[in-house]
Amino acid sequence: MVSRAERSAVAGWWWTVDHWLLAAIAALIVLGLVLVMAGSPPVADRLHLPPFQFVNKQVEFLVPSVMLMLGISFATPRQVRRLALLGYIGAMALVFAALVFGHEVKGARRWIFGVQPSEFVKPAFVVLAAWAISEGARRRDVPGNWLALLLLPATVVPLVLQPDFGQTMLVSLVWGIMLIMAGLHWFWIAGLGGFAATAVIVAYKFVPHVRARILHFIDPGQSGGVADTFQVDTALDSFISGGWFGRGPGEGTLKRILPDAHTDFIFAVTGEEFGLLFCMVIVALFAFVVLRSLLKAAVNEDPFCRFAAAGLALLFGIQASINMAVNLHLMPAKGMTLPFISYGGSSLISLGIGMGFLIAVTRKRPRSEILFDRSANAAAAERPVAAPAE
């Protein structure tokens, strides 16, 4: 046990971090390993790989993910901002590189050097948006809301070109909610809502696979028959087969024919083998992380930490909600992973970074430290610019 009298960095971290939030994230990580172990062997068998190939890979990615999460969680708010800026620049460079040099998978160029850079953009984007909004609220000489407004198209246009409409929708939703939290005038909110609706209509009109997914969701039988909705239908059958208490670990049968049983549809595998009650426990864990983070954000005196914590919590919660909604056929398929539960290296590393940021900005900070940051920023804003030498 770490003593309160100890003055080391680890002791300072331990007594300022939110233990309940850390425990909930740890529980999701452990459950993710168990569920990948349950859902991935049939997929590995179909691909003629060793039964636990995906489990082993998940562990390989989980180690650096947890290390990044813990390491970043030691950062101060200023260090969080700097890390996010560096991460955003690097990730966006990789996004542009993927557009030109990346290999095409299912008609999209999202991968380069074995990673999906759009995953790393998300947590950095949220932190930068929170930085812009908070600085705009704190300093009149900084056009914070305008910077936040410009940050969105700079981020989503390359994602649309890949195309990656799932990540674009996720980032845009979080960004919009953060601007509403910042007190954006309802006139601008209505305008942004109209622009979003127009973007959806344009995507439906001119992007065939978006139109197909929407049509399949509205009327599964009208556009190609059984093959079009095979995954969703099989996922729903998995929940029905499992009932309240499930068939038992390893006893699921529908996962053998479910193509993405270890990634996008791992929640359905959970429903068949462990039951609806266990699924509700997972939902409760996600809800706890989100609500706990939002409560911590609400009482935080630092505007940047407040917006960053809320944005990162929403990013985490909305992604989880989209994945589970797709599994339950409550919305069209999006190709979104279930945080810490689905298999995926880029997703795990991104989550480690995002949760590290979240833990860092929700740590307890002495009021004197917050006031010092404010006075330092105010002094920087008022410092006169030196006249050029003649």
CA 340 to chain centre: 10
pLDDT in tens, 202-220: 777 767 667 777 776 666 6
**119 has a pLDDT exceeding 50:** yes
**Cis previous bond, 163, omega within 30:** yes
- Mean pLDDT calculated for residue range 103-118: 80
Contact assessment for residue 337 and residue 263, using Cβ atoms and an 8 Å cutoff: yes
Alpha carbons 163 and 102: distance in angstroms, whole number? 12
pLDDT at 345: 86
Give, in degrees to the nearest 5, the angle at Cα 168 between 294 and 98.
125
pLDDT at 318: 94
Of residues 379 and 4, which shows the higher confidence score? 4
Mean pLDDT of the chain: 84
Contact assessment for residue 32 and residue 58, using Cβ atoms and an 8 Å cutoff: yes
What is the pLDDT confidence band of residue 74, given thresholds at 50, 70 and 90? Answer: very high
In a domain, 266, yes or no: yes
pLDDT at 304: 93
In a domain, 21, yes or no: no
In a domain, 248, yes or no: yes
- Mean pLDDT calculated for residue range 183-205: 75
pLDDT in tens, 330-346: 887 777 889 999 988 89
Range of the domain at 34: 30-365
Identify any residues that bridge with 31 across adjacent strands, giving them in sequence order.
none
Q: Where are the beta strands (DSSP E) in 24-146?
A: 103-105, 108-111
- Number of folded domains that form the chain: 1
Instruction: Kindly report whether the global pTM for this prediction surpasses the value 0.85.
Output: yes
pLDDT at 227: 46
**45 has a pLDDT exceeding 80:** yes
In a domain, 281, yes or no: yes
Query: Residue 274: CB partners within 8 Å, gap ≥ 6?
Result: 242, 246, 249
In a domain, 22, yes or no: no
Alpha carbons 314 and 119: distance in angstroms, whole number? 15
In a domain, 8, yes or no: no
pLDDT at 376: 53
pLDDT at 385: 46
Residue 36, number of CB atoms within 10 A of its CB: 26
Q: Which of 314, 323, 312 is nearest to 361 (CA)?
A: 312
Report the range of poorest mean pLDDT among 23-37, 109-123, 248-262, 268-282. Answer: 248-262
What is the pLDDT confidence band of residue 88, given thresholds at 50, 70 and 90? Answer: very high
pLDDT at 366: 67
In a domain, 5, yes or no: no
Measured in degrees and rounded to the nearest 5, phi and psi for residue 341 equal -105, -50
- Mean pLDDT calculated for residue range 65-89: 95
Report the range of poorest mean pLDDT among 88-92, 144-148, 172-176, 386-390. Answer: 386-390
Residue 363 DSSP SS3:
coil
Alpha carbons 337 and 323: distance in angstroms, whole number? 6
What is the pLDDT confidence band of residue 146, given thresholds at 50, 70 and 90? Answer: confident
CA 184 to chain centre: 24
**31 has a pLDDT exceeding 50:** yes
* Amino acid at position 29, single letter: I
Report the range of poorest mean pLDDT among 177-191, 198-212, 239-253, 344-358. Answer: 198-212
Measured in degrees and rounded to the nearest 5, phi and psi for residue 68 equal -65, -45
Residue 157, number of CB atoms within 10 A of its CB: 10
pLDDT at 106: 67
- Mean pLDDT calculated for residue range 31-44: 89
Q: Report the share of the chain in percent with pLDDT over 90.
A: 40
In a domain, 4, yes or no: no
Of residues 25 and 259, which shows the higher confidence score? 25
Instruction: Give residue for tokens 């691909």.
Output: 47
